[in-house]
Amino acid sequence: MTTRSDITQHPDLAEMRSRFERATTNPAAQAVEALALLTGVYLAASPWIAGFSGLTALAVTNLILGIAYAACMGGLGSAYERTHAMAWAGCAIGAFTIIAPWVVAGNVDTTRTVVNNVIVGVVALLCALAMAVGARGERGRGRSLGPSAMS
């Protein structure tokens, strides 16, 4: 007679759930995630808020980058342990946002596009770095360091 093991009772799964709860209930992580989500929404709407919608290529780029950033960073709260690698994608989006006025638009004749993208890009990059480092630190605390940690 074969007994069936229920995976929901596995000790590793319970420990992973515990780490997930610690990571998502951290007020600092929640604040960074909220700021990152707002940054993504602002980045998507920034061509119309800051007033450079005449630069069509940069406006479309900011719209796409903002939606992608908000999607990456917004998904971290629902499955923090599984999606922490998306924070590194957020870092790439933040870095590209900084250089986008020169790469995408070419000749940028307005300072508001540069100032807007540099400030939003730096905030996006810092939020994503904070989430990436926070996820890495949380994973590292959950691991045992050897036989002495088990006692």
Query: What was the pLDDT predicted at 124?
Result: 95
- The answer to the question of residue 13 being in a domain is no
- The answer to the question of residue 58 being in a domain is yes
Q: Which domain does 96 fall in, by range?
A: 27-138
Neighbours of 98 (CB within 10 A): 18
Residue type at position 124? A
Contact (Cβ atoms closer than 8 angstroms) between residue 135 and residue 79: no
Contact (Cβ atoms closer than 8 angstroms) between residue 57 and residue 104: yes
Count of the separate structural domains present in the chain: 1
Taking only the tens place, the pLDDT of each residue in 45-80 is 998 998 876 778 888 999 999 999 998 887 655 555
- The answer to the question of residue 133 being in a domain is yes
Query: What was the pLDDT predicted at 118?
Result: 94
Q: Which of 27-36, 97-106, 113-122 shows the highest mean pLDDT?
A: 113-122
- The answer to the question of residue 17 being in a domain is no
Contact (Cβ atoms closer than 8 angstroms) between residue 69 and residue 93: yes
Q: Which of 25-29, 104-108, 119-123, 139-143 shows the highest mean pLDDT?
A: 119-123
The label of the residue with tokens 């790469």 reads 103
Contact (Cβ atoms closer than 8 angstroms) between residue 124 and residue 39: yes
Query: What was the pLDDT predicted at 104?
Result: 85
Q: Is the pLDDT of residue 121 over 90?
A: yes
- The answer to the question of residue 65 being in a domain is yes
